[in-house]
Amino acid sequence: MHLSSIFVGLAGLLASASASPTNNTVYKHFDCGVDLSHASDHFNKTVRQMHQGVFKAHSGTQMAGHAVRAAAAGPITVNVAFHIVTTAAKAGTITQKMADAQLATMNRAYKASGVQFNRIATTFTVNDAWAVGAGNDATAMKTALRNGTYSTHNIYFMTDLTGSILGTCSLPSDIGPGTPDPSTYVTDGCMIQANTMPGGNIYGFNLGMTAVHETGHWMGLLHTFEGYSCTGNGDFIADTPMQSTSTDGCPSKPPKDSCPTVAGIDAIHNYMDYSDDSCYTGFTADQNKRMSNMWSTYRLGR
């Protein structure tokens, strides 16, 4: 692992969380806002073709100038850059130890998926506006801090993330042929409430699983309850049951079943639901395959 720590001093995403003694903010029920309505037309077309199996028969076929590729051969190594952004009042509250634990959590969570995260940078920035990330401040932050290419996963851990959400992230999209200018993908990546990291102070959501969930979006996955319906394509994953509501907490007894007329109970332990951190256990086999296909199609070598 190549790790560089950059200390930058600048003047200057999800279920309703029970307040801890040190954090009285009430966070929205995950509410990361990542769904097909916010995805590019290219992603919408690609996810449907992958679900229908079209890409299997036409691997390498050009779609809008970009190839739809089959699953990556072997394990996937993703370079990742962590950016810790705090207000002046909270400087020093998010530590290198928390960042190290977050990386370990992500690697444990994705091990069964054949994905490994190689951290290439950890930056620490003090900037009151960027720690909130409202409007143009988020773009300014990413423009200044982003590391690597389109295949580099940049995660911005912000102490006062706007909207009282735990995190949000970008889905992959076609950025054009060749080697595009970095300005075309500068906003790519995840913005996450920093206190969701292991050791943070958001009770119920401080085991590092928000970054695991949001990274699933970055790898091309939708929520298990996409569409909030018991009919249709849902999340376009064959082996996740239909689910019409997101999950709050970890309601295992009795099992949560928002689509009782359809086979299967809600996948409350799936990383792409909105459950508490301690409720999560993993992805499905088809989700793993989808991430591999999406990686090969959108990010590999970009």
* DSSP secondary structure of 137-164: HHHHHHHHH--S-TTSEEEEEETT-GGG
Please give the Cα distance from 103 to 112 (Å, whole number): 15
pLDDT at res. 180: 82
Please give the Cα distance from 71 to 68 (Å, whole number): 10
214 catalytic residue (yes or no)? yes
Find the range with the poorest average confidence among 24-28, 38-42, 127-131, 294-298.
24-28
Quote the DSSP letter at residue 34: -
The better pLDDT of the pair 209, 66 is held by: 209
Please give the Cα distance from 51 to 187 (Å, whole number): 27
pLDDT of residue 9 exceeding 70: no
What is the torsional sign of CA 274, 280, 283, 284?
negative
Please give the Cα distance from 144 to 67 (Å, whole number): 31
Q: At what angle do helices 41-52 and 285-294 cross, to 10 degrees?
A: 130
Q: What is the pLDDT of residues 273-283, one digit of tens each?
A: 999 999 999 99
pLDDT of residue 261 exceeding 90: yes
Question: Concatenated DSSP letters for 267-297?
Answer: -TTBTTS---GGG--B--HHHHHHHHHHIII
* Three-class secondary structure of residue 29 per DSSP: coil
Quote the DSSP letter at residue 299: I
pLDDT of residue 30 exceeding 80: no
The encoded tokens of residue 226 equal: 């996409």
Please give the Cα distance from 170 to 154 (Å, whole number): 11
Q: What is the largest CA-CA distance in the chain?
A: 57
CA distances from 84 to 70, 88, 125, 191, 201 (A): 35, 12, 6, 10, 15
- Which amino acid, 165? I
Please give the Cα distance from 292 to 84 (Å, whole number): 28
Tokens 């735990």 sit at which residue?
Answer: 166
Mean pLDDT value across the chain: 86
pLDDT at res. 27: 63
Q: What is the mean pLDDT of residues 249-269?
A: 94
Percent of the chain with pLDDT over 90: 73
Tokens 């995840």 sit at which residue?
Answer: 190
The structural domains of the chain, ordered by start, are 5-35+70-221+288-299 (3.40.390)
pLDDT at res. 3: 35
Give 176's pLDDT tier (boundaries 50, 70, 90): confident
Closest to 225 measured CA to CA, from 165, 188, 290, 275: 275
Q: What is the mean pLDDT of residues 178-205?
A: 94
Q: Which of 188, 214, 226, 266 is labelled catalytic?
A: 214
Give 23's pLDDT tier (boundaries 50, 70, 90): low
pLDDT of residue 80 exceeding 50: yes
The encoded tokens of residue 66 equal: 């970009």
pLDDT of residue 260 exceeding 80: yes
The encoded tokens of residue 229 equal: 């319906």
Please give the Cα distance from 191 to 14 (Å, whole number): 12
CA distances from 156 to 15, 191, 298 (A): 19, 5, 21
